[in-house]
A and B are shown apart, each in its own frame.
Chain A
Amino acid sequence: QPVLTQSSSASASLGSSVKLTCTLSSGHSSYIIAWHRQQPGKAPQYLMNLEGSGGYNKGSGVPDRFSGSSSGADRYLTISNLQSEDEADYYCETWDSNTHVVFGGGTKLTVL
C-alpha cells in the first residue's frame, strides 16, 4: 500500500508563488494522486488529479493559478499569485483501489 509524505508547513508572501510537494513511497512512483485544499473551518475541496507524467486535470472552477507537475515519486502543486484565501491545509491522496485509499498528512500553508 502506498504512503504519501508531505511537509507539515509552508509559507509564502501574498502575490508570490509556492510549490508544495507530495512524495510517494518506494515502489509507487507511477501512481496518480489528487490534491485537495481545506480552508479553515470548511470541507476539503478537490483541486486536481496529477499523473506521473505531469499531466493534470483540474476540478470545476479551480483557478488558473493552480497547476501541477511531477518528477519521479514527487508530485507538486504550484500556486501562483497567492491570495489570502489560499491560506489553508493542502492534502494529497492516492489509491491502490477503491478499498485502499490514503491521504498525506497535509501541509499547512501560511500566506504572509
Chain B
Amino acid sequence: EVQLVQSGAEVKKPGESLSISCKGSGYSFTSYWIGWVRQMPGKGLEWMGIIYPGDSDTRYSPSFQGQVTISAAKSISTAYLQWSSLRASDTAMYYCVRRVTGTDYWGQGTLVTVSS
C-alpha cells in the first residue's frame, strides 16, 4: 500500500526556521516525483514545487522560488520542505504528493502556524 506520512503540526515564531518531512512507503521512492502543495486557511490548493528523489532534480513554482527549499534523503525515503525564516503568511496546511501522470497520492498534511 502506497503511503505518504508527514511530520506533525508545528507552531513557530516569525523569523524561525523549520523543516517538515514526508516519508514514502509501499513503492520505489526513488522512481516517483514528490511535490508539495500549500493550502492557506479557507483557501484552495497551490503548487509549490517538486523533487525527483532518484537524482534530486528539483523544480519550484515561480511563486515559491527562493521562499522555500525542497530536498530529499533517498536512503530513508523522505522528502523535506524547509524555511529559513518563517513569516506569519506561511501559516497554512502543507501536503506532500506523489506524482506520476498527475498527482495520485496525498500525504495527510502538516499544519504550520506562525505567530508571535
Contacts and interface: CB of A to CB of B under 8 A. Distances in A.
Interface of A: 32-34, 36, 43-46, 49, 59, 91, 93-95, 98-106
Interface of B: 33, 35, 37, 44-47, 50, 52, 59-61, 95, 99, 101-109
Contacts, number: 61
B102 A93 contact: yes
Contacts of A91: 44-45
Given A44-B95, A46-B104, 6 more contacts: A43-B107, A43-B109, A46-B105, A95-B102, A100-B61, A106-B44
B102 A32 contact: yes
A101 B35 contact: yes
A24 to B, nearest CB: 14
A23 to B, nearest CB: 16
A43 B45 contact: no
